[in-house]
Amino acid sequence: MPESTHCRTPQQALAALLARYAPQRLLLVGASQLPALEAFKAAHPECHIEHAAAAPLSMELAAQRFDLALFVDCLEHLPKRTALELLAGIRNLNASRLAVLVDLQACDWRETDFFALALQASERFQRGEQVLELFTYDLLDYKQVPDWLNAKFWANPENFGKYWW
């Protein structure tokens, strides 16, 4: 986890994530309003945004797939087991990318709990005594491709990529 705090605000970090991924379908879990999300919605009216309270997803939302799921002001209001099930369930079934903005002092989560879910520590923000941390997950880059996964280490390198067993 980066120990230094960033000079930009959490809203600026979320705006940068939204600009980077430009999701067509977005799920916001927890907070009811975010200035960064409102600005993104105004600039991208084609983006479909769903909101879920800090609770297990409804059947309707659980059956949908999203490009990005944002968790803001959510984990602090749930028992850890419920929050873990919600976060892991959305990561596994509903979204390829996650961003979690959390106050670790206000909940019983630790950094290692996020690492165990394959999330990466992105940024830390401090205002007065409050410290917010941003954790992200992207299915496309959560794991590096091993160096052995290429034709050089195959028994028949000329067949690499040609056949699927």
Residue 1 lies in a domain: no
Residue 67 lies in a domain: yes
Residue 5 lies in a domain: no
Residue 35 lies in a domain: yes
Q: At 40, which helix (H) or strand (E)?
A: helix 35-43
User: For 136-150, how does the pLDDT look when each residue is reduced to its tens digit (9 = 90+)?
Assistant: 999 988 777 777 776
Residues of the chain with pLDDT under 70: 1-6, 150-155, 157, 160, 164-165
Looking up tokens 């944002």 gives 70
Q: At 42, which helix (H) or strand (E)?
A: helix 35-43
What CATH number does residue 44 fall under? Answer: 3.40.50.150
Q: How far, in Å, CA of 119 to CA of 53, rounded? A: 21
Farthest CA pair distance, the chain: 61
**116 Cβ contact partners less than 8 Å away, ≥ 6 residues apart:** none
Q: Which domain holds residue 90?
A: 10-159
Does the pTM surpass 0.85? The reply is no
Residue 136 lies in a domain: yes
pLDDT of residue 153: 67
Domain count, the chain: 1
pLDDT of residue 1: 46
Residue 64 lies in a domain: yes
Could you tell me which of 89, 95, 99 has the C-alpha nearest to residue 25? 95
Residue 151 lies in a domain: yes
Residue 4 lies in a domain: no
Per DSSP (E only), the strands in the chain are 25-30, 48-52, 68-72, 97-102, 120-127, 130-138
